[in-house]
Every structure is written in C-alpha cells, then in structure tokens.
Amino acid sequence: MDSRVDRTNRRQTQTPAHQAPPCTLVIFGAGGDLTKRLLMPAIYNLAKAKLLSEKFAIIAVDRTPKPVDAFRDYLAEGIRSFVSDTASAPATEPFDKQAWEFVASRLAVASQLFGTIVEQLGAAGLVQEKDGRFRRVIIEKPFGTDLASARALNAQILRVLSEPQIYRMDHFLGKETVQNIMVLRFANGIFEPMWNRDHIDHVQISVAETVGVERRARFYEATGALRDMVPNHVFQLLSLIAMGPPNSFAADAVRTEKHKVLEAVHPLDDAEVRRNVVRGQYGPGLINKNPVPACREEPDVARDSNTETYVAMQLAIDNWRWAGVPFYLRTGKRMTRRTTEIAIQFKQAPFAMFRNTPVDILTPNVLALQIQPDEGASLQFSAKVPGPEISLGGVRMNFSYKDYFNTEPTTGYETLVYDCMIGDAMLFNRADGVEAGWEVVQPILDLWQNDKTVPLEIYTAGSAGPEAADNLLWRSGRQWRPLT
C-alpha cells in the first residue's frame, strides 16, 4: 500500500486528515525535556484528533532506567502543563484522559546506551523496507555541531538508510505560520511580482525569546545561540522567504529551492564576520518585571563563560532575485519579549511629491509576518490624515490567525510526526540542506574560536539586545523593528 498522500490536495481542500497507518515510533532519549514538553503533547494531540491507528505503538529508549509507571506519570505531567500553559489555549481546557490512556497504553520503555543508533538499527536488520512496509528514522536537531560533524553524521546514516527514510526534523517547520509563508507567497498573485531586489529594500528576521539558559547549561554552554538557532530554525525562515517558486509542493521540489537559497548566501570571510556579525550575552535584568540573573550566574554556567546567548548578522544572497538586498537576522535569549517575526521592508516610492507636507519621512511599506506568539500578518503603509491639508500618517492593516480560524494549541510536532507516518518529507531537511546551513555559519564559528579579540557584547536581560547590533543597520540608515 502506498502511504503517501497528495499534500497539495490535503492542505487546500481542508478535507479531514486520514488516520495515519499502523506504525511503531521509537524515541531515543525519551527521558529528555523535549519528549516531555513537546513530543508527547504532540502525540497526545494526534490521539485526541483520532489520527493514530489502533495499532500505533511507542518504544521509548533512554540511558537512565525508569519504571514504566513512573515514566508514564512523568510524561502525563508534561501534557497537563502543556494543556494549561499554552499561551493560546483557554486556561480551562480539560486534560483529555481518554486520549492520554490511548497513548500511555502504547508506550514501552527500555534503557539503552545512546550511540550509533542508526548503525545498530541497520545491523539488527530493522531498517529494511520490504513487503510494502516502511522504516523511517526521525532525527531531531542538533544535527552535528559544525559542518564537518554534520557531514560525518550524514555519511554515517546514509550508509545504513536511504535518503527517503531519513526525516531530519526542525520543529519550526511544524509551526502553522511557518508553513503559511509558502501559502502567502505562492497562493496569492500579488506578492510574487514584488518579491525581489527591484521592490524590496531589506528583510529582517527576529527570533527573540524571554527564556534564559536556566537549567540547560550543560547543553547550552557548549552550543551557544549561533549553533542552537541559526543554521536550523532561522535559516528555515530565511529559505522560505527567499526561495524561488517550487515546481510543486512535492518534498524534493520544495527542498531543492530552499537549498538553492542557502547555497547562494555570500560566504563570509574573516573581515566580513567581524563587520557583519555581532555576538552577545545577557547580563542581569528584568523579565516581565521580575529580576533575572546574568547568564554567567545561571547554575552550571562558568563565571567567565564566553558562550553567546544572542547573535545578529547581516547576510547577502548572491543571486538575481536578491543581489544588493541585505538580510538582517537576530536571535537571542532573555530579550524584552518573546516574538518571532519576519519583516519585508519595501523600497520607498520613487518620487517624493509630498515634499512640502508636514511629514519628513514617509512611513515605509512593511509586510510583517508574525510567526509567534500572536500569529498573523500586517501591512504598513501611508494614508492621508483627515483634514484640509495633505498630511500623511502611517497605518497598519492586520490579519490575526486567531480571529479568522478557530485554532487549537499545537506544539508544531503534530504535523511533523504525522507527516513522517504518511511519508511526506516536505517539512523535513534533506542532507544537502543541513550541510548548506552549517556551511554558512562555519566561518563565524571558526573566527570566534580562533580570535579571542572578537567582542562578546553584554546586554541587559529584558532589553532588545546589544547596541552593537543596532549599528549593523544604522550604518546604512536602517533600524531594527521594535520587539513589540
């Protein structure tokens, strides 16, 4: 039986999704935070939506042995807090006991050392697809820690699995509004003709978080904001915004277009890294009016830690569509507000015939795509202020997801887990895409590693990041959009 479905039809006609075929989901590292906070709530949501087969089963594997019941209680706790904590969920949404029982009864736990899992699966003959049955492996980030390790990991798993069996996951691609970037661009006729260097002045991508390093120091100290967020999440947003129209929504057509964007990013030499990339680390400050410690005072963080919790950069894409259009990217922890936004700023009207009006500067046209938390889009433009003289003011047209659609809280993983089950890899990374992302950031990692004089800018927790990042834009007369 062919388990693939036509994504275009499924998405466009809004017919109810089909139940996924029977399968066993093996989670390696099941004792981790991710499983509890995101993956299990996603499975629970799929169970609630009746998208899981009666024959669905989970095998949870972790290094630390835990009795099955204690493990189930631990996961149930995660789902309860997901149900009540999700920003967009009504606080009263009840925990669906039946859906949880469905999932819990399909969960087995074994303890195992984490290692060359894929190789061992292969050696055990568990990845052979025969008699029409699929064998797929989902691999979450981090996929490598630099270009060399990502290449090595790809080579290692590709010795055992074929590319279509590998689902390299980036949970940002499961977010509704991230998928909506493609719909906005390619299902509407008005944007694409303007989506190029003739009409766009610059693009800003901001992924700001209020959370800090907190209890993740062991992971974060060795990782930093650049590795943690940029080659994966931020570059997914960049590729979706900058890619050319794919021939279809088939996985490879879309992934090829995305890959071409990253391949075209202008490679940074040392001088360009120094000039176009800013790294920062948060000092003490206030988040939601509550005092929070500096990164260096978080548990298990070295008092002289040089790990960046913020990174901003200016990139160029060397192709016909984008030549000369700067892309400004920034991401940071302990920023003033949690927001993920992509802003496309269009060029000014070519002739300022309103020179003698009481405004000095016309409001720039900005199309802002709000990815989270208040999903939607807005368009900013100039309008005449009512009155006898010509006076211009900036106005904004807003589309808010929650006003139009009755959205249920999701983690982003629901779509991805379901798509893996039905064999649709469009929202997963191909080997070349992962490597292209690392290729762009590798010169930055190298310079930071080799040149200890590159400044680490300390910014106040609860601020919009270091001032040095403002200079990236000021020097060409531009500015970051406020994180509001």
Q: Which residues bind ligand BG6 (CB under 6 A)?
A: 141, 171, 209, 211, 228
Beta carbon nearer to ligand BG6, 141 or 334: 141
Q: Check: CB of residue 246 under 8 Å from CB of residue 256.
A: yes
Residue of 171, 202, 233, 259 marked active site: 233
- Least distance in angstroms from the C-beta of 86 to ligand BG6: 11
Helix-helix angle 40-48:68-85, to 10 degrees: 80
Those residues whose C-beta lies under 8 Å from the C-beta of residue 407, and which sit 6 or more positions away, are 88, 176, 375, 401
User: Could you give the angle at the alpha carbon of 247 between the alpha carbons of 246 and 248, nearest 5°?
Assistant: 90
What is the Cα Rg of the chain in Å?
23
Q: Is 363 left (phi over 0), alpha (psi -120 to 50) or beta?
A: beta
Beta carbon nearer to ligand BG6, 246 or 332: 332
* Three-class SS state of 263: helix
- Least distance in angstroms from the C-beta of 52 to ligand BG6: 23
Beta carbon nearer to ligand BG6, 294 or 325: 294
- Least distance in angstroms from the C-beta of 279 to ligand BG6: 16
Beta carbon nearer to ligand BG6, 209 or 414: 209
- Least distance in angstroms from the C-beta of 410 to ligand BG6: 11
Q: Give the Cα separation of 159 and 452 in Å (integer).
A: 38
Cα 98 to Cα 37, 79, 93, 249, 407, distances in angstroms = 19, 13, 14, 36, 21
- Least distance in angstroms from the C-beta of 331 to ligand BG6: 9
- Least distance in angstroms from the C-beta of 149 to ligand BG6: 17
Q: Give the Cα separation of 335 and 255 in Å (integer).
A: 32
The DSSP symbol for 146 reads: S
Q: Is 132 left (phi over 0), alpha (psi -120 to 50) or beta?
A: left
Beta carbon nearer to ligand BG6, 122 or 212: 212
Q: Tokens 């062919």 label which residue? A: 2
Q: Encoding tokens for residue 131?
A: 């008699």
Nearest residue to ligand BG6 on Cβ basis: 228
- Least distance in angstroms from the C-beta of 233 to ligand BG6: 6
Beta carbon nearer to ligand BG6, 331 or 365: 331
Beta carbon nearer to ligand BG6, 285 or 412: 412
Cross-strand partners of 158: none
Cross-strand partners of 393: 383
Q: Tokens 């089909």 label which residue? A: 18
Determine phi and psi for 34, rounding to 5 degrees.
Answer: -60, -40
171 counts as catalytic = no
Q: Encoding tokens for residue 162?
A: 């074929």
- Least distance in angstroms from the C-beta of 143 to ligand BG6: 11
Beta carbon nearer to ligand BG6, 231 or 293: 231
* Three-class SS state of 118: helix
Q: Check: CB of residue 173 under 8 Å from CB of residue 182.
A: no
Q: Is 182 left (phi over 0), alpha (psi -120 to 50) or beta?
A: alpha
Residues annotated catalytic, as ranges: 233
